[in-house]
Structure 1
Amino acid sequence: MKIALKIGYEGTEFSGSQIQPELRTVEGELLKALKEAGTIDDFESADLSSAGRTDAGVHAFCQIISFKTTNPGLAIPRVINSKLPRDVWAWAYAEVPDDFDPRRHAVRRKYRYILSGDYDISKMRDASKLILGEHDFANFAKKDKKNPKSTVRRVEKLDIRTGNGIIRIDIEANAYLWNMIRKIVTALTLVGSGLRPVEWVEQMLDPDNYEEGIEPAPAFGLIFLDIWYNPEPEWKMDSYAIRHVNEHYVKEADRHKVISAMMEQFIIHEKKPE
């Protein structure tokens, strides 16, 4: 039987989601937990796969992992979570067809980037409108010379919202290039800070005639927020798992609010000369 899980993770202490020898990864922790819980017999027969790779430091709320099991009664989130560390958890599951591929069968993915700073939001929104639709995003991707692929992607939505000193950038597309979202965020902040005009984004979307390398925004602000399939698996929410995750992160959110306020006390404000 094949099972799909909705999992979340705080990516700070992970070297990415994809399993890598000698490094702590999300897939590595999941495989260990599935084996310890008796959900899978061995790593090879589990045939574990995910909806997408996230880099070191990137977070997820709704990453999809699928695997094969002969023990479906032990494939529920609360069982698996009992063997997982605090920074990765499962919260829903579904039985899926044997040919289900969480990456290839996805029709749309949503990410959110969270940042703070003093930016011209109106200019950022004007720039975001240029990014919507199908474009060649070669200037917004980390080049893969060993395995060159098409750099054309279609961005369906790009929303920018502000509140309480925080900027949230939501982006939805069928698929993404390596570092594409974080480089889009960099471009938007360059426009929002006045370092680039809005029209520069049009140039960036025309890589045949204009080429410029930009650094990706920091990984810690990015979260893989949601994913859709057609047909959608019949997800079963694990209320016990959700309750325990919520309790933990409500406390963590409160703790970080205090730490943020405390760190503001370290900022030295120099008096301007009269």
Structure 2
Amino acid sequence: MRFAMIIEYDGTDYSGWQRQKNGISVQQRIEEALEKLLMKKITIVGSGRTDKGVHAEGQVAHFDAETDLSEFKIKGSLNFFLPEDIKIREIKRVADDFHAQFDAKSKVYVYNTYISRVKSPLKSRYYVQIIPPLDIELMRECAKKIVGKHDFSSFSVKNGDSPSTTVRLISRLEIIEKGDELTFEVEGPGFLYKMVRSIVGTLIWIGRGKLSPDCIEKMFDSGDRALGGKTLAANGLVLKKVKY
């Protein structure tokens, strides 16, 4: 039997989603809880990795298990065993050929910031501070240039992985204002390493007048990461939803 879960977690104290040789991961904690419940080792497969310090509201994962327990009982028991910063929001039986990673059509990430000259102690765990002034309308105009299919090598950070292609599709990029909060919502089928954080950092640098609006075209043309803005911190990023 195959089960799918929607998982919410605060990634602050974890080395990321995926199991690591050094450091505790979200995947590890969930697999440990499943082992306590089902009395055998279970491997879960997530829709994708989130990096160290990144949060999730709607991560999706699947696992296989033969059990007579109801979905309600599995969910309640897992949440009992899991720490307070990881919880299962939903769990349901799915088709045996469902795959959390390969069946995903798109992912929605949000990056949370607030505009203030004074750092907020209450927001600092989940938001990143932006010092004003900030030209938000200019940022929105520049965001339109990012939507579509491009080579995003200049909006990513190199790591040990070598993707077969650095071409990605951004289907939606919205900048939402609410009081002093500024949220960037980005949707696409897949993302390069630190791609969302690099996109948001570049837009903010443009909004603050530290970069020219034409830097986006130059980045796409050259593939030069150095032409863009700062790669922002992990704590502002949330995997909001995975669409199937």
| Pairwise TM-score range, normalised by the shorter structure | 0.7 to 0.9
Shift of 1:47: 3.4
Matches within 5 A, 1:179-190: 179-190=194-205
The residue type equivalent to 2:102 in the other structure is R
Residues 1:126 and 2:141 aligned together: yes
- TM-score normalised by length of structure 2: 0.87
Q: Distance in 1 between matches of 2:102 and 2:64?
A: 17
Q: Which residue of 2 aligns with 1:14?
A: 14
| Structure 1: gaps (5+ residues) | 230-274
Q: Which residue of 2 aligns with 1:242?
A: none
Shift of 1:167: 0.4
Q: Distance in 2 between matches of 1:226 and 1:72?
A: 29
Match of 1:174 among 184, 189, 197: 189
Q: Distance in 2 between matches of 1:120 and 1:12?
A: 30
CA RMSD of aligned residues (A): 1.5
Task: Tell me which stretches of 4 or more aligned residues in structure 1 moved more than 6 Å.
Answer: none
Residues 1:41 and 2:28 aligned together: no
Shift of 1:173: 0.4
Q: Distance in 2 between matches of 1:72 and 1:102?
A: 23
Match of 1:102 among 100, 103, 114: 100
The residue type equivalent to 1:113 in the other structure is Y
Q: Which residue of 2 aligns with 1:212?
A: 225
Report how many aligned residue pairs link the two structures.
223
Shift of 1:72: 5.0
- TM-score normalised by length of structure 1: 0.78
Q: Distance in 2 between matches of 1:9 and 1:77?
A: 15
1:148–1:161 Cα change, 3 Å: closer
1:15-37 deviation digits (Å, cap 9, x = unpaired): 11101134111001001111112
Whether the 8 Å CA contact 2:153–2:225 is kept in 1: the answer is no
Residues 1:193 and 2:173 aligned together: no
Q: Which residue of 1 aligns with 2:3?
A: 3
Q: Which residue of 2 aligns with 1:111?
A: 109
Whether the 8 Å CA contact 1:37–1:74 is kept in 2: the answer is no
Q: Distance in 1 between matches of 2:101 and 2:161?
A: 21
- Structure number with higher helix proportion: 1
Whether the 8 Å CA contact 2:153–2:223 is kept in 1: the answer is no
The residue type equivalent to 2:105 in the other structure is V
Matches within 5 A, 1:1-274: 1-38=1-38, 41-42=40-41, 46-71=42-67, 73=69, 75=71, 76-117=74-115, 118=132, 119-144=134-159, 147-206=162-221, 209-213=222-226, 214=228, 215-229=230-244
Q: Which moved more, 1:216-225 or 1:135-144?
A: 135-144
- Between the aligned residues of both structures, percent identity stands at 31
The residue type equivalent to 2:2 in the other structure is K
Whether the 8 Å CA contact 1:6–1:90 is kept in 2: the answer is yes
Q: Distance in 1 between matches of 2:181 and 2:22?
A: 36
Q: Which moved more, 1:127-136 or 1:143-152?
A: 143-152
Q: Distance in 2 between matches of 1:185 and 1:14?
A: 23
Q: Which residue of 1 aligns with 2:123?
A: none
Q: What is the SS of the residue equivalent to 1:150?
A: coil
Shift of 1:98: 2.2
Higher Rg of the two aligned structures: 1
1:185-212 deviation digits (Å, cap 9, x = unpaired): 1111110100111111111122xx3523
The residue type equivalent to 1:123 in the other structure is L
1:86-142 deviation digits (Å, cap 9, x = unpaired): 000001112122222211110011000001232210111011000001110000112
Q: Distance in 1 between matches of 2:136 and 2:192?
A: 25
Q: Which residue of 2 aligns with 1:247?
A: none
Q: Distance in 2 between matches of 1:18 and 1:145?
A: 15
Q: Which moved more, 1:174-183 or 1:19-28?
A: 19-28
Q: Distance in 2 between matches of 1:23 and 1:144?
A: 18
The residue type equivalent to 2:164 in the other structure is K
Q: What is the SS of the residue equivalent to 1:205?
A: helix
1:129–1:115 Cα change, 3 Å: same
Whether the 8 Å CA contact 1:74–1:80 is kept in 2: the answer is no
